[in-house]
Amino acid sequence: MKLVDPQAIYGLWLRDTKRFLRSPSRIVGSLAMPLLFLVFMGFGFQGAAIPGLPEDVDYLQYLVPGIVGFTMLFGASFAGLSILADQDVGFLKEILVAPVSRTSIVLGRIAGGSTTALVQALLILGLSIPLGFAPVSLLSLPIAAIFLVLLAITFVGFGIALASQFSDSEGFGLIVQFVIFPLFFLSGALYPLEGLPSSVRYLAYANPLTYGVDGLRGVLVGTSSFSVWLDLGALVVSSAAMVAIGAALFQRVEAV
């Protein structure tokens, strides 16, 4: 068994992609929550005096990168749930008994999960434009895509690592709610971190989503707390770490 088996990774990716494209309800459902946040918060807090918000930046402009980052968290829970769903229906056995290394399996699932998360994020970004979102330039979009890919890998890897510790999807579904929302609120997605007490702020600095949102904001809106290069570096590290952790924890997953 090769550690990295490109054909097996492609097969796993193809399966996830086909499943995603064949269930429109899944696509709509995955977009509903971020879109609600975007619409209600974007318009509700329009013009509100939010501490730390740069004066020349409209709140909707500020919020869109945060909500795009939020969809990545859903990608994480979705990737974790799909592994557990495979376990529930027995399909995981079919995968685990194949002559494919666990590392390749994790890479395949990350590839598939990241692709679907990326599509969701791009859809949110696209839908935000008619709502009034305006990227600083079209050239910023390819750079934003790099951030999105790194964010997707980080959080899909995280979802797989987390799911490997659960044996049923119900327990995972409950726990993941308690993980997603703190990550979301502690990422500067909704408001600048400068307003938070310093102890909480340090927690936010340990959150990869913070750098993803900040980097996207720097690229798309032109305002950021850190330098874009720092954001990029942090995300490269976090995505590599999450792939490694996901692969390590998945080694221990048993199908029976």
Partner 1 sequence: MKAIHVDSITKEFDGVTAVDDLSFAVERGELFGLLGPNGAGKSTLINMLVTLLPPSSGTASVNGHDIRSERGAVRSSIGIVFQEPALDEELTGAENLAFHSRLYGQNRAERAERIDEVLALVGLSAERDDPVGTYSGGMKRRLEIARGLLHEPAVLFLDEPTVGLDVRTRRDTWEYIQRLNEEAGVSIVLTTHYIEEADHLCDRVAIVDDGDIVAMDSPSALKASLGGDVVALEFVSDDDPTALFDQLEGQSWSREYTASDDGVRVTVDDVDARIADLVRLADDTGIRISSVDLREPTLENVFLELTDRSAAGSDRNGAAGDQTVMASGDQTGTALESGDDRSSAVSTEDQP
We find the least distance from the C-beta atom of residue 164 to partner 1, in angstroms, to be: 16
We find the least distance from the C-beta atom of residue 100 to partner 1, in angstroms, to be: 5
187/182 Cα distance (integer angstroms): 8
How many Cβ atoms sit within 10 Å of the Cβ of residue 97? 10
Binding of partner 1 by 95 (CB under 8 A): yes
Nearest to partner 1 of 45, 91 (CB atom): 91
162/179 Cα distance (integer angstroms): 10
Kindly state the DSSP code that residue 247 receives in the 8-state scheme. H
Binding of partner 1 by 91 (CB under 8 A): yes
Q: Which of 23, 167, 177, 227 binds partner 1 (CB under 8 A)?
A: 23
Binding of partner 1 by 27 (CB under 8 A): no
We find the least distance from the C-beta atom of residue 91 to partner 1, in angstroms, to be: 5
How many Cβ atoms sit within 10 Å of the Cβ of residue 13? 20
Q: For residue 246, with 0-12 CB atoms within 10 Å meaning exposed, 13-18 middle and 19 or more buried, which class applies?
A: buried
We find the least distance from the C-beta atom of residue 247 to partner 1, in angstroms, to be: 17
- For residue 187, what are its two tokens? 């990422």
Q: Name the one range near partner 1 by CB under 8 A: 44-52, 85-93, 137-145, 192-200.
A: 85-93
Whole-Å CA distances, 81 to 20, 61, 137: 13, 32, 37
Contacts to partner 1 by CB under 8 A: 1, 5, 7-8, 10-11, 14-15, 18-19, 22-23, 89-91, 93-100, 254-256
